[in-house]
C-alpha cells in the first residue's frame, strides 16, 4: 500500500511543459514537498482554471464538435438545464424536484435531483452561461465529500455537446470507487448512461461506469483514478476523451466487452502533452483497446483473468495519430502481467522503452504492428526461440523456425519491425519461405507465433545484399 492507498507506482519527475512546470515547482517549494507528495500537493492547492496548462488552447467544445457522440437515452422528464456557475444546493441533499431548486439550477442541484428520483435524467447547460467560445467554470467545493455525490438510481445523461462546461474541484481526495460503496464515487453512470463534452478538472474521485454506459468527448484531468468500469458488459469509453496526468485513468474491474477506443492518454488532441502517467489502463478483465494515443509512462497494468482476452490494436504509443514523436520516457505495450493478450494489428510504437513486453505469466500474441526505434522490441514468455532468416533476395525471404507456427516478416532500419511485409506458415519441416518484395538498404526481421498464441521476439536482422 502506498501513497494513494493502492500499490502506487514509482513516479519520476518527468519534464513538464514550461508553464505547468513553473507553478508545480513553486507549489512544491511552498509546501515543502518531496517528490513523493508532488501530485497530491499540487492538486489540493487553490488553482483556478486559468492556471490549467491547456487553457490557452482552442475551446475544447470545438474539438468535441468534430466527434460522433452518442445520444442521450430517452427521459420521462424535461431536461434539467443548468443556468448558473454556482455550486448551490437549494433544497438540500434530499432535493428531488427542480421547482424546489430556487430561481437558478446549479449542476450540483441537478445531480441531486437525478440522484433522488427514479427515471432517466438529462442534465444540460444553457448556452448563455456555457458557450463553447468561453466555457463556464463551475467550481465545486468540498461540501459534498467525503460521501460523494449521491447514488444515481437510474441512467443519467450529462450532455455538454455544443457547450463549454468546465467542472473544477477545489480539493482533491482520491478514493476507491467500488461496489458496494457507491458513495465513494463522484457520481455514477448507471446502466445506460451517457456523458459527453465535459471538462473535469481535479476530479477528486473516480466516476463509476456501469454496463451499457458511454462516455465521449470529455477531459478528465486529475492525478487520481478517474473511471472505474464495473458491472456487466458493453461499456464504451470513447471517442475523444482525454485522460490527463492520472494514475489508473481507466480501471476495468469486472466482466469483459469493454471498448476503450479513440481516446488520448496524457495527450490532448489540440496538441498538448501532459506529464506521462502510470498504470494508465488497469485491466482486471478483458477489453478491446483500440485507436487510442498513449503518451504514458506505463500504459497498462494488465491482468485479465483466465478465459478473458485483452485486445490491443490500432493504437499509437509514443506518437500521435499524425505520427509525431512525443517526448519523454514513454511506455510501449508493456506491463502485460498475466492473462491472454492479442496485440495487433495496427499498433504504431515509436521511441518507447518497449515495443511489446509481457511477463512470464502472460500469453501474448503479437501480429502485424509497426514497432521501431524502441529500446527493446518484443519480450514475451514464448517458450521457443525467434525464427532465423537464412536467405533474403529482392523478392523472397526464407528461414527456419524452432517450432511450427506462423512467421511474420518485417522491414526495418534496425532490428525491429516497422513495416509488415508478409506472413507464411512454418510447418513440420521447420523451414519457411515467402515471396515478397524486399526493400533495399533495410533489414528484414521475422517473428514466430505458435498455435498456442505465443509470439517470439524479433529475429536477428538480415540485410538485403546489394
- CB of 313: closest distance to Ca ion in angstroms? 47
Nearer of residues 111 and 252 to Ca ion, judged by Cβ:
111
In 305-418, where do the E strands start and end? Answer: 309-313, 316-317, 333-343, 348-350, 354-366, 370-372, 376-379, 388-392, 396-400, 405-412
Nearer of residues 130 and 300 to Ca ion, judged by Cβ:
130
Nearer of residues 150 and 357 to Ca ion, judged by Cβ:
150
Contact flag: residue 162 with Ca ion (CB under 5 A) = no
User: Helix, strand, or coil here: 53?
Assistant: coil
Contact flag: residue 439 with Ca ion (CB under 5 A) = no
User: Helix, strand, or coil here: 19?
Assistant: helix
Closest-approach residue to Ca ion (CB):
102
Q: ∠ at Cα 270 (266, 275), nearest 5°?
A: 25
- CB of 92: closest distance to Ca ion in angstroms? 11
Please tell me what DSSP assigns to residue 161. T
- CB of 83: closest distance to Ca ion in angstroms? 9
CB atoms within 10 A of CB 288: 18
State the number of binding residues for Ca ion (CB under 5 A). Answer: 5
Contact flag: residue 113 with Ca ion (CB under 5 A) = no
Q: Which of 75, 79, 104, 321: binder of Ca ion (CB under 5 A)?
A: 104
- CB of 121: closest distance to Ca ion in angstroms? 16
User: Helix, strand, or coil here: 74?
Assistant: coil
- CB of 141: closest distance to Ca ion in angstroms? 15
Q: Which of 185, 187, 227, 235 is nearest to 210 (CA)?
A: 235
Nearer of residues 90 and 308 to Ca ion, judged by Cβ:
90
Segment near Ca ion (CB under 5 A); pick from 21-29, 83-91, 165-173, 285-293: 83-91
Segment near Ca ion (CB under 5 A); pick from 38-46, 85-93, 360-368, 379-387: 85-93
Nearer of residues 32 and 78 to Ca ion, judged by Cβ:
78
Q: Which of 45, 49, 90, 162: binder of Ca ion (CB under 5 A)?
A: 90
CB atoms within 10 A of CB 157: 26
How would you label 401-438 residue by residue, b for 16+ Cβ within 10 Å and e otherwise?
bbbbbbbbbbbbeeebbbebbbbbebeeeeebebebeb
Q: Which of 16, 69, 80, 101: binder of Ca ion (CB under 5 A)?
A: 101
Which residues are registered as beta bridge partners of 244?
A: 221
Residue recorded with cell 526481421: 445
Nearer of residues 49 and 88 to Ca ion, judged by Cβ:
88
Q: ∠ at Cα 255 (253, 260), nearest 5°?
A: 75
Contact flag: residue 102 with Ca ion (CB under 5 A) = yes
- CB of 112: closest distance to Ca ion in angstroms? 10
- CB of 117: closest distance to Ca ion in angstroms? 16
- Furthest CA-CA distance within the chain: 82
Segment near Ca ion (CB under 5 A); pick from 104-112, 140-148, 231-239, 271-279: 104-112
What is the torsional sign of CA 59, 63, 65, 71? negative
Under the rule (CB under 5 A), what is the footprint of Ca ion? 88, 90, 101-102, 104
Amino acid at each position: 500500500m502506498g501513497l494513494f492507498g493502492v500499490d502506487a507506482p514509482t513516479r519520476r519527475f518527468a519534464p513538464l511543459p514550461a508553464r505547468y512546470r513553473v507553478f508545480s515547482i513553486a507549489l512544491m517549494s511552498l509546501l515543502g514537498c518531496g517528490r513523493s507528495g508532488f501530485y497530491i500537493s499540487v492538486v489540493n492547492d487553490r488553482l483556478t482554471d486559468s492556471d490549467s496548462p491547456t487553457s490557452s488552447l482552442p475551446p475544447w467544445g470545438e474539438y468535441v464538435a468534430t466527434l460522433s457522440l452518442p445520444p442521450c437515452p430517452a427521459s420521462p422528464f424535461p431536461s434539467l438545464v443548468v443556468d448558473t456557475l454556482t455550486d448551490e444546493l437549494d433544497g438540500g441533499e434530499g432535493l428531488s424536484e427542480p421547482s424546489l431548486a430556487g430561481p437558478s439550477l446549479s449542476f450540483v442541484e441537478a445531480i441531486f435531483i437525478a440522484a433522488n428520483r427514479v427515471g432517466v435524467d438529462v442534465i444540460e447547460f444553457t448556452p448563455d452561461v456555457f458557450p463553447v467560445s468561453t466555457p463556464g467554470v463551475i467550481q465545486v467545493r468540498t461540501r459534498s465529500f467525503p460521501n460523494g455525490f449521491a447514488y444515481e438510481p437510474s441512467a443519467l445523461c450529462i450532455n455538454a455537446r455544443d457547450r463549454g462546461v468546465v467542472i473544477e474541484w477545489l480539493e482533491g481526495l482520491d478514493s476507491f470507487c467500488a461496489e458496494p460503496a457507491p458513495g465513494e464515487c463522484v457520481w455514477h453512470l448507471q446502466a445506460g448512461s451517457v456523458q459527453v463534452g465535459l471538462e473535469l478538472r481535479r476530479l477528486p474521485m473516480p466516476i463509476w461506469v456501469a454496463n451499457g454506459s458511454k462516455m465521449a468527448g470529455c477531459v478528465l484531468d486529475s492525478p487520481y483514478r478517474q473511471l472505474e468500469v464495473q458491472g456487466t458488459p458493453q461499456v464504451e469509453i470513447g471517442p475523444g476523451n482525454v485522460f490527463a496526468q492520472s494514475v489508473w485513468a481507466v480501471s476495468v474491474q469486472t466482466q469483459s466487452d469493454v471498448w476503450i477506443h479513440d481516446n488520448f492518454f496524457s495527450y490532448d488532441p489540440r496538441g498538448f502533452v501532459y506529464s506521462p502517467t502510470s498504470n494508465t489502463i488497469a485491466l482486471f478483465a478483458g477489453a478491446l483497446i483500440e485507436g487510442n494515443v498513449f503518451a504514458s509512462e506505463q500504459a497498462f497494468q494488465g491482468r485479465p483473468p483466465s478465459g478473458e482476452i485483452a485486445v490491443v490494436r490500432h493504437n499509437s504509443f509514443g506518437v500521435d495519430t499524425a505520427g509525431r514523436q512525443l517526448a519523454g520516457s514513454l511506455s510501449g505495450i508493456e506491463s502485460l502481467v498475466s492473462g491472454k493478450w492479442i496485440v495487433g494489428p495496427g499498433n504504431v510504437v515509436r521511441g518507447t522503452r518497449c515495443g511489446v513486453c509481457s511477463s512470464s505469466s502472460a500469453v501474448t500474441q503479437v501480429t502485424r504492428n509497426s514497432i521501431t526505434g524502441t529500446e527493446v522490441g518484443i519480450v514475451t514468455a514464448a517458450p521457443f526461440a525467434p525464427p532465423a532468416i537464412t536467405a533474403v533476395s529482392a523478392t523472397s525471404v526464407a528461414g527456419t523456425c524452432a517450432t511450427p507456427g506462423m512467421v511474420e516478416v518485417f522491414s526495418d532500419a534496425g532490428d525491429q519491425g516497422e513495416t509488415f511485409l508478409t506472413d507464411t506458415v512454418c510447418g513440420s519441416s521447420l523451414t519457411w519461405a515467402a515471396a515478397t518484395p524486399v526493400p533495399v538498404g533495410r533489414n528484414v526481421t521475422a517473428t514466430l507465433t505458435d498455435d498456442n498464441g505465443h509470439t517470439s521476439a524479433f529475429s536477428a536482422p538480415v540485410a538485403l545484399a546489394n
